[in-house]
Amino acid sequence: MKMMKKTLLAASVAAFASSAAMANVSDGKVKIGVLADMGGVYADICGKGCVTAIEMAVEDFGGTVLGAPIEIVSADDQLKPDVGSAIVRKWVENEQVDAVGGLVSSAVVGAATKVTTEAKKIALISTAASNAFTTKQCSPYNVHWTYNVVALANGTVKPMVDAGKKKWFFITADYAFGHALEGVATKVIQENGGEVVGAARAPLGTTDFSSYILQAQSSGADVVALANAGGDTVNSLKAASEFGLTQMMDVAGLLVFTPNAQAMDANTAGGMRTTTGFYWDYDDQTRAWSKRFMERHGDIPAMGHAGAYSMTMHYLKAIEAAGTDESDAVIKKMKEMKPDDFFSRNATLRSDGRMVHDMYYVEIKKPEERRDNNDIFKVVSVIPGDQAFAPVLPECDFK
Residues paired with residue 170 on neighbouring β-strands, in sequence order: 199, 225
**Residue 11: φ, ψ to 5°:** -65, -40
125: confidence class by pLDDT, cuts 50, 70, 90: very high
Q: Where do you find CATH 3.40.50.2300 in the chain?
A: 7-147+282-357, 150-276+359-388
* Summary mean pLDDT of the chain: 93
399: confidence class by pLDDT, cuts 50, 70, 90: confident
Q: Are 32 and 284 in contact (CB under 8 A)?
A: no
In the chain, the percentage of residues whose pLDDT exceeds 90 is 91
pLDDT 10s digits, 279-324: 999 999 999 999 999 999 999 999 999 999 999 999 999 999 999 9
Query: Does CATH number 3.40.50.2300 belong to domain 7-147+282-357?
Result: yes
Could you tell me the fold of the domain covering 150-276+359-388? Rossmann fold (3.40.50)
H helical segments located in the chain: 2-23, 47-61, 81-94, 106-119, 149-152, 158-162, 176-191, 210-217, 231-242, 245-248, 258-263, 266-269, 284-297, 303-322, 327-336, 385-388
Q: Are 144 and 172 in contact (CB under 8 A)?
A: no
23: confidence class by pLDDT, cuts 50, 70, 90: low
Between CA 238 and CA 232 the distance in angstroms is 10
Between CA 371 and CA 22 the distance in angstroms is 50
pLDDT 10s digits, 173-215: 999 899 999 999 999 999 999 999 999 999 999 999 999 999 9
28 CB-near residues (< 8 Å, 6+ apart):
22, 68
Amino acid identity, position 221: A
The 10 Å Cβ neighbour count of residue 218 is 9
Between CA 326 and CA 315 the distance in angstroms is 12
